[in-house]
Amino acid sequence: MNARAARLAVGSDDSASRGEAFIWSNSFDRPTLVLDPSIAVRNFHALREGLGRARIHYAVKANPAPEIISALAGAGSRFDAASRSEIELCLARGARPGDISFGNTVKKPADIAFAHRAGVSLFAADAEAELEKIAAHAPGSRVCIRLLVEASEADWPLARKFGCGRDMVLPLLARARALGLDAAGLSFHVGSQTRRAAMWVPVLDQVAEVWHQARAAGHDLRLLNIGGGFPAFYGERVESPARYGARVAKMLRDRFGEVPEIMAEPGRGLVADAGAIAAEVLLVSRKFARDMHRWVYLDIGKFSGLAETMDEAIRYQFVTRRDGEPTGPCILAGPSCDSADVLYEKHLVQLPLSLAAGDRILIRNCGAYTFTYASVGFNGFPPLDVVVI
Ligand SMILES: *Cc1c(COP(=O)(O)O)cnc(C)c1O
């Protein structure tokens, strides 16, 4: 596939890929995520082309499979880590310490000290006490103050947990300087799975206002960290990474002018379509004789890898060998004995009427936020297995 064809394939539902071919031509005795790191690399290049001179720090938590980290490091990606073990993983897989940022705003002091010793020099904070920790355990480091942004239209908003209000930004920048830190910039996250680039507008407007205010107040801001939020295809059309990235880059130029350093932290957008899950139908049933819909129970559920079906926020695509036959609406559920283990109930899923126990089912675009969300043996069901091709 040439580069252009590859870009066009992203964002359509026709990503039937090496991974999907692998699933149909093999059998699996438990739910298995099949990963193709070359797709993450392709997405990395496309997004980098779109974003222009912004540096890309892959958000490791989206998919910490060592092969994904190696492939992205080999392609020139940098990394954003949230803990000591994510930093160790990146280092072991070829990342240079100077290319790793420690973006979690809630860090263990011992992890900060470890990062500092390892050569990591960029940290995020959204509170005075966190700045004090950084100053104590990583003196002189660069810090970004994370701003809480509102009105996110993301499918998986990060809500209010991270970031500080705009009235805290200037005092925190001043405090960072007083503590001997390099108060280099601002960071934010627009919300995960921000489906359309246009949804960045209100968020960038808020951040730009604070950015210009801080500069006017004498803070020498040089680094703008635009976080993640780059979308994946889950059934609703999304722009390709190159196009989406280019639109975000233009919005940044319009609002911020020439920022010396821009960085982005894509997670989902790089890895979601690098993985597909092989699963199995365990039971198809009706609860009442006249039910219009069926219940379809799979061997994978909320506790074994599909945590992002919480509130039905992320809507995965299902493929069976019976596609093309007449379909009907189904409630989809996982195998565990917890009544919360229902995947889709508000929005029913159309599946073939002939679907039966024992049928295989493939779940598309599961490369982000799946296998690390699997519980450790809840109900005795194995966590999601991972195979890298
Ligand atoms: C999770 C996270 C990201 C990645 O978000 P996506 O929506 O997957 O792109 C980026 N930055 C930070 C600080 C994060 O916590």
Instruction: Look at residue 3 in the predicted model and tell me its pLDDT.
Output: 34
Record: fold of 6-35+272-388: Lyase, Ornithine Decarboxylase; Chain A, domain 1 (2.40.37)
361 near 281, Cβ under 8 Å?
A: yes
In this predicted model, what pLDDT tens digit does every residue of 245-272 receive, in sequence order? 999 999 999 999 999 999 999 999 999 9
> Distance from the CA of 261 to the center of ligand 1, in angstroms?
19
Statement: residue 128 has pLDDT above 90? yes
Q: How confident is the model at residue 156 (pLDDT cuts 50, 70, 90)?
A: low
**Dihedrals φ, ψ of 55, to 5°?**
-85, 140
Place of tokens 């239209």: 153
Q: Quote the CA–CA distance of 187 and 126 in Å, as a whole number.
A: 10
State which ligand 1 atom lies nearest to the alpha carbon of 368: 8
H/E run at residue 210: helix 201-216
Q: What is the DSSP string of 300-352?
A: --TTTT-GGGGGG-S---EEETTBTB-EEEEEEE-SSS-TT-EEEEEEEEEEE
How large is the average pLDDT for residues 67-82?
A: 98
In this predicted model, what pLDDT tens digit does every residue of 212-221 receive, in sequence order? 999 999 999 9
> Distance from the CA of 49 to the center of ligand 1, in angstroms?
20
Vertex 52 angle, CA 16 and 49, to 5°: 25
Instruction: Look at residue 382 in the predicted model and tell me its pLDDT.
Output: 85
Q: How confident is the model at residue 12 (pLDDT cuts 50, 70, 90)?
A: very low
222 near 184, Cβ under 8 Å?
A: yes
Its CATH class, for the domain covering 103-266, is alpha beta
Q: Where are the chain's structural domains?
A: 6-35+272-388, 103-266
> Distance from the CA of 60 to the center of ligand 1, in angstroms?
8
What mean pLDDT is reported for the chain? 93
> Distance from the CA of 105 to the center of ligand 1, in angstroms?
12
Q: How confident is the model at residue 373 (pLDDT cuts 50, 70, 90)?
A: very high
Q: Which of 86, 126, 162, 265 to mutate to test the pocket of ligand 1 (most atoms within 8 A of CB)?
A: 265
State which ligand 1 atom lies nearest to the alpha carbon of 192: 7
State which ligand 1 atom lies nearest to the alpha carbon of 61: 1
Tell me if 6-35+272-388 shares its fold with 103-266.
Answer: no
How large is the average pLDDT for residues 33-60?
A: 97
> Distance from the CA of 291 to the center of ligand 1, in angstroms?
41
Q: How many CB atoms lie within 10 A of CB 98?
A: 11
State which ligand 1 atom lies nearest to the alpha carbon of 187: 13
Pocket of ligand 1 (CB under 6 A): 59, 61-62, 80, 103, 189, 192, 227-230, 265-269
